[in-house]
A and B are shown apart, each in its own frame.
Chain A
Amino acid sequence: MKRIAALLRRRLAGAVPVLFIVIAFAFLLLESAPGDAVDAYLVSVGGGDATLAASLRAQYGLDQSTLSRLWLYLAALTHFDLGWSVAFDRPVLSLIGERLPTTLVLMGSATLLSFGLGSFLGIVAASHPGSLRDRLLSMASLTLYAIPGFWLALLLLIVFAVDLRWLPFSGFETVASHKTGLARLADIARHLVLPVVTLSLIYLALYLRVMRAAMGEVWRQDFILFARARGLSARRILWRHVARNALLPLVTVLGLQSAAMLGGSIIIESVFAIPGFGRLAQEAVAGRDAPLLVGLILVSALFVLSINLVVDLLYAWLDPRVGSVEAR
Chain B
Amino acid sequence: MSHFALSRRHLLKGTALAALSVPFSTFAMAEDGTRRLTVAADSEPKNLNPAIVASNGVFYIASKVIEPLAEASFTGADGLEPRLATAWEGSADGLSVTFKLRDGVTWHDGKPFSSADVAFSALEIWKKLQNLGRSVFANLETVDTPDALTAIFRFAKPTPFQLIRNALPVVTSVVPKHLYEGTDIATNPANVKLVGTGPFRLAEYKPGEYYRLTRNDAYWDKTAPKLDEIIYRVLPDRAAAGAALEAEEIQLAAFSAVPLSDLARISKVPGIKVISKGYEALTYQLVVEINHLRKELADLKVRQAIAHAIDRKFVVDTIFLGYATASTGPVPKNAPQFYTADVEAYDFDVAKANALLDEAGYPRGTDGKRFALKLLPAPYFNETRQFGAYLRQALAAIGIEAELVNNDSAAHQKAVYTEHAFDLAIAPPVFRGDPAISTTILVQSGTPAGVPFSNQGGYANAALDEIIKKASETVDEEARTELYKTFQQKVAEDLPLINVAEWGFITVARDTVENVASNPRWAVSNWADTALKS
Contacts and interface: CB of A to CB of B under 8 A. Distances in A.
Contacts of B31: 177
B23 A165 contact: yes
Contact of A52 (B5, B57, B134, B414): B134
Contact of A193 (B16, B187, B450): B16
B2 interface: no
Interface in A47-103: 47-50, 52-53, 87-89, 95, 98-99
B414 A36 contact: yes
Nearest to A172: B209
B204 interface: yes
A197 B12 contact: yes
- Interface size for chain A: under 10, 10 to 19, 20 to 34, or 35 or more residues? 35 or more
Given A46-B56, A46-B131, A47-B452, A286 B210 contact: no
B218 interface: no
Nearest to A151: B239
Contact of B38 (A46, A157, A175, A276): A175
A112 to B, nearest CB: 13
Given A168-B26, A174-B26, A154 B239 contact: yes
Contacts of A140: 4, 8
B415 interface: yes
A107 B407 CA distance: 31
Contact of A89 (B46, B209, B236): B46
Interface residues of B, number: 75
Contacts of A53: 450-451
A159 B9 contact: yes
Nearest to B131: A48
Nearest to B58: A45
Given A35-B413, A160-B17, A279 B208 contact: yes
A215 B452 CA distance: 61
B147 interface: no
Contact of A143 (B4, B207, B243): B4
A158 interface: yes
Contacts of B408: 35, 286
Contacts of B430: 46
A47 B57 CA distance: 13
Contacts, number: 193
A95 B244 CA distance: 27
Contacts of B233: 171, 175, 273
Interface in B209-231: 209-210, 212, 229, 231
Interface in B24-55: 24-26, 30-31, 38, 43, 45-47, 53-55
A28 interface: no
A242 B46 CA distance: 56
B16 A271 contact: no
Interface string A188-222: 01100100010000000000000000000000000
A326 interface: no
Given A46-B453, A47-B438, A40 B244 contact: no
16 contacts: A33-B411, A35-B408, A46-B452, A48-B451, A49-B131, A50-B448, A89-B192, A166-B17, A166-B24, A168-B249, A175-B212, A193-B20, A273-B235, A273-B237, A279-B208, A286-B408
Given A42-B451, A176-B229, A197-B12, 8 more contacts: A39-B414, A40-B410, A47-B132, A155-B5, A162-B246, A270-B236, A273-B235, A276-B208
Closest 10 CB pairs of A and B: A275-B208, A35-B410, A35-B414, A40-B410, A34-B411, A169-B249, A50-B448, A39-B413, A45-B55, A39-B410
Interface of A: 33-37, 39-40, 42-50, 52-53, 87-89, 95, 98-99, 140, 143-144, 150, 154-155, 157-162, 165-172, 174-177, 189-190, 193, 197, 270-271, 273-276, 279-280, 286-288
